[in-house]
C-alpha cells in the first residue's frame, strides 16, 4: 500500500487503493456518494485540503479506482 505524507481529494488513485485494502468486504458499485465520502474521510492519513473539496466528479473517479483495485486484488488472489 502507498505510504507517506497525508493525501487529499485529488489523490484519487491512492484513495481507491486504500479503500480496496481497508474495505474489501464492501462492493464499491453499491456505495452511494455520501457513504463513499464518509469512508474516505475515515482513511488514516487523509486530510481535506483548503480549496479542494470533494465533488461528484472526484467521487466518481475514486469509485472507479476502487473498483479497478478491487478487481486487481481478486486477480492476484486467483493467480
Mean pLDDT of 8-25: 96
CATH 1.10.1760.20 fits 12-78, yes or no: no
Cell numbers linked to 4: 507517506
Indicate the domain borders of the chain: 12-78
pLDDT of residue 34: 96
* pTM score of the predicted model: 0.86
Instruction: Work out the end-to-end distance of the chain between its first and last CA atoms, rounded to an integer number of angstroms.
Output: 19
Residue 68, judged by CB atoms within 10 A of its CB (0-12, 13-18, 19+), counts as middle
Cell numbers linked to 43: 482513511
Cell numbers linked to 24: 474489501
Predicted confidence (pLDDT) per residue in 41-72, tens digit: 999 999 998 888 899 999 999 999 999 999 88
Amino acid at each position: 500500500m502507498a505510504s507517506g505524507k497525508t493525501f487529499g481529494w485529488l489523490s484519487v488513485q491512492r484513495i481507491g487503493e486504500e479503500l480496496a485494502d481497508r474495505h474489501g468486504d464492501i462492493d464499491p458499485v453499491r456505495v452511494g456518494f455520501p457513504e463513499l465520502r464518509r469512508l474516505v474521510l475515515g482513511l488514516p492519513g487523509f486530510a481535506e485540503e483548503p480549496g479542494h473539496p470533494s465533488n461528484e466528479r472526484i467521487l466518481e473517479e475514486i469509485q472507479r479506482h476502487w473498483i479497478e483495485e478491487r478487481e486487481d486484488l481478486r486477480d492476484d488472489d486467483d493467480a
